[in-house]
C-alpha cells in the first residue's frame, strides 16, 4: 500500500507552522491598523478631505486603505505567496510573474471592494437599522454570479486554459460523469505547471458554464485510474448537490455574521464622535466590526465542508470500487501538495475544509473490508 514520504511530512509540518506564523502576523497588522484609525484622529482627518457624498467618500477611503494595507503587508505577501512556497518547491513563479498576479488581484479587489462599500453606505443612508440584511442578500447574489463566471472569466485571468485532448483520459472522465449522472459542458486543462507544482481538479461553474477542470500537473503525475478516482470525488459534489448545500449553509452563517457586525458597529459607533453611521470616518470601525463578527463562523464553515467532503469520498469509492487507487491518489496528492497527514495544531484542525489524510485512508480501508465481507 502507498506510504507517505517521511521527509515530505517533515517539510509539510514546517511549512504549515511558518504559514500559520505569517498568518497571525498579518491578522495582527490588520487589526492594529483598523484600531489605530478608530482610536486616533487619523480617520477623521482623512474623511474631512474626501468628497461630501458618503458613498463616494467611503469608496475612495477604502481604495486608499487597501493600497496602504497592501504596501504595509507586501513583505508578508511575498513570503507566503512566493518565497515560502518556492523554498518548499511549490512555486515556480518568477518575482515579476508573482508581482503581476499580485497587483492584478489587488486591482480587482479594490474595484470590487470600493463598489461594495459604496453600496453598503447607500444602504446605511436609506435603512440604518436593516442595511445588513440587504448587504447580506447582495453578497449572496454576487457569490452566486462569481460561481457561474469563475471558469470562463476569473480563472483565465491567471492561468492558461484549454480543452482536454481526445484519448483514454477524456473517455474515462466522460464515462464517469455519465455514471454519476452529472451533465458537464466540457473537460478542460488548467496549466498550473508554469506557476506551481501543486496538483488539483474539480468541477467548476453552474449551468452552461459547468465543466470538469484538471491541472496539467495532475495529468503529468497520476495514472488515468487515479485521476478517475479524484474526479469521482469531485463529481460526487455535483451528484449530492453540495454546491447548493454549502451555499445555503454559508448564507445562514453570513446572515448571523452580518447581523452581529451591524449590532457591533452601531454599539461602538455611538461611543465615538461620528456624525452618524454613514460618516466616512467610521469606515475602519465598520471593517473592524465585520472582521470580528466573521471569526466565529469560520470553524462552522470548515466543519460543514469536511462533512460534505467525507461524503464525497465515500461516493467516489462506491462509484469506482477502487479503494487502493483512492489511497494511492490521496497519498500522492498529500505528498505533492505538501499537506499534513494530520495537522498537529488545533486551529489548523478546526480550520480544515477537508478530512485529513489519515481519516480518508481509514475510511477507504474500512470500505475495503466492507467490500470483501
pLDDT at 273 over 90: no
pLDDT at 371 over 90: no
Q: Which residues are within 8 A (CB) of 142 and not within 5 positions of it... i.e. 6 or more apart?
A: none
Phi, psi (deg, nearest 5) at residue 267 = -65, -50
Would you place residue 286 in the very low, low, confident or very high pLDDT band (cuts 50, 70, 90)? very high
Cell, residue 364: 477507504
* 343 φ/ψ sector (left φ>0, alpha ψ -120 to 50, else beta): beta
Please give the pLDDT value at position 70: 96
pLDDT at 1 over 70: no
Q: What is the pLDDT of residues 321-345, one digit of tens each?
A: 999 999 999 999 999 999 999 988 7
d(Cα 366, Cα 363) in Å, to the nearest integer? 5
d(Cα 112, Cα 34) in Å, to the nearest integer? 20
Q: Which of 18, 35, 3, 20 is nearest to 83 (CA)?
A: 18
d(Cα 284, Cα 166) in Å, to the nearest integer? 53
Determine the length of the chain: 373
Cell, residue 292: 470580528
Mean pLDDT (whole number) for 43-66? 94
Entry pTM: 0.92
Please give the pLDDT value at position 351: 84
d(Cα 344, Cα 169) in Å, to the nearest integer? 37
Please give the pLDDT value at position 159: 96
Please give the pLDDT value at position 41: 86
Please give the pLDDT value at position 373: 67
Spatial contact of 136 and 197, defined as CB atoms under 8 Å apart: no
Cell, residue 112: 470590487
Q: What is the pLDDT of residues 198-233, one digit of tens each?
A: 999 999 999 889 999 999 999 999 999 999 999 999
Q: Strand (E) positions, 146-215?
A: 161-163, 187-190, 201-204, 211-215
Q: Strand (E) positions, 127-255?
A: 161-163, 187-190, 201-204, 211-215
Paired strand residues for 208? none
Please give the pLDDT value at position 349: 80
Please give the pLDDT value at position 157: 94
Q: Which residues are within 8 A (CB) of 189 and not within 5 positions of it... i.e. 6 or more apart?
A: 161, 162, 163, 164, 213, 214, 215, 216, 219
Return the number of other C-beta atoms located less than 10 Å from residue 350's C-beta: 14
Q: Which of 269, 293, 296, 302 is nearest to 283 (CA)?
A: 269
Please give the pLDDT value at position 191: 97
Q: Which residues are within 8 A (CB) of 282 and not within 5 positions of it... i.e. 6 or more apart?
A: 43, 265, 269, 272, 274
Q: Percent of the chain beyond pLDDT 90?
A: 90
Q: What is the pLDDT of residues 11-28, one digit of tens each?
A: 999 999 999 999 999 999
Please give the pLDDT value at position 221: 94
Cell, residue 260: 452581529
Please give the pLDDT value at position 163: 96
Mean pLDDT (whole number) for 292-296? 94
Amino acid at each position: 500500500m502507498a506510504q507517505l514520504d517521511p521527509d515530505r511530512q517533515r517539510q509539510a509540518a514546517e511549512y504549515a507552522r511558518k504559514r500559520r506564523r505569517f498568518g497571525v502576523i498579518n491578522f495582527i497588522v490588520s487589526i492594529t491598523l483598523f484600531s489605530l484609525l478608530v482610536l486616533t484622529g487619523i480617520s477623521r482627518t482623512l474623511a474631512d478631505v474626501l468628497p461630501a457624498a458618503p458613498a463616494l467618500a467611503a469608496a475612495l477611503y477604502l481604495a486608499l486603505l487597501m493600497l496602504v494595507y497592501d504596501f504595509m503587508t507586501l513583505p508578508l505577501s511575498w513570503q507566503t505567496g512566493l518565497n515560502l512556497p518556492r523554498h518548499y518547491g511549490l512555486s515556480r513563479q518568477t518575482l515579476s510573474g508573482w508581482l503581476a498576479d499580485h497587483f492584478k488581484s489587488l486591482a480587482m479587489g479594490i474595484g470590487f471592494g470600493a463598489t461594495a462599500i459604496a453600496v453598503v453606505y447607500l444602504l446605511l443612508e436609506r435603512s440604518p437599522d436593516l442595511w445588513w440584511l440587504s448587504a447580506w442578500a447582495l453578497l449572496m447574489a454576487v457569490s452566486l454570479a462569481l460561481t457561474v463566471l469563475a471558469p470562463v472569466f476569473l480563472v483565465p485571468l491567471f492561468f492558461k486554459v484549454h480543452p482536454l485532448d481526445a484519448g483514454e483520459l477524456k473517455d474515462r472522465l466522460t464515462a464517469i460523469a455519465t455514471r454519476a449522472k452529472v451533465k458537464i459542458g466540457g473537460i478542460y486543462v488548467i496549466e498550473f505547471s508554469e506557476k506551481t507544482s501543486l496538483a488539483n481538479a474539480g468541477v467548476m461553474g453552474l449551468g452552461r458554464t459547468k465543466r470538469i477542470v484538471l491541472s496539467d500537473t495532475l495529468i503529468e503525475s497520476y495514472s488515468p485510474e487515479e485521476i478517475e478516482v479524484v474526479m469521482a470525488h469531485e463529481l460526487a459534489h455535483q451528484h449530492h448537490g453540495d454546491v447548493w448545500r454549502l451555499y445555503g449553509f454559508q448564507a445562514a452563517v453570513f446572515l448571523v455574521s452580518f447581523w452581529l457586525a451591524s449590532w457591533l458597529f452601531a454599539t461602538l459607533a455611538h461611543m465615538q464622535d461620528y456624525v452618524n453611521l454613514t460618516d466616512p470616518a467610521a469606515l475602519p470601525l465598520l471593517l473592524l466590526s465585520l472582521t470580528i463578527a466573521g471569526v466565529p463562523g469560520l470553524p462552522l464553515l470548515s466543519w460543514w465542508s469536511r462533512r460534505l467532503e467525507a461524503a464525497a469520498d465515500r461516493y467516489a469509492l462506491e462509484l469506482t470500487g477502487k479503494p487502493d487507487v483512492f489511497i494511492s491518489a490521496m497519498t500522492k496528492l498529500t505528498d505533492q501538495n505538501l499537506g499534513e497527514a494530520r495537522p498537529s495544531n488545533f486551529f489548523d484542525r478546526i480550520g480544515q475544509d477537508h478530512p485529513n489524510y489519515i481519516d480518508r485512508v481509514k475510511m477507504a480501508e474500512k470500505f475495503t473490508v466492507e467490500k470483501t465481507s
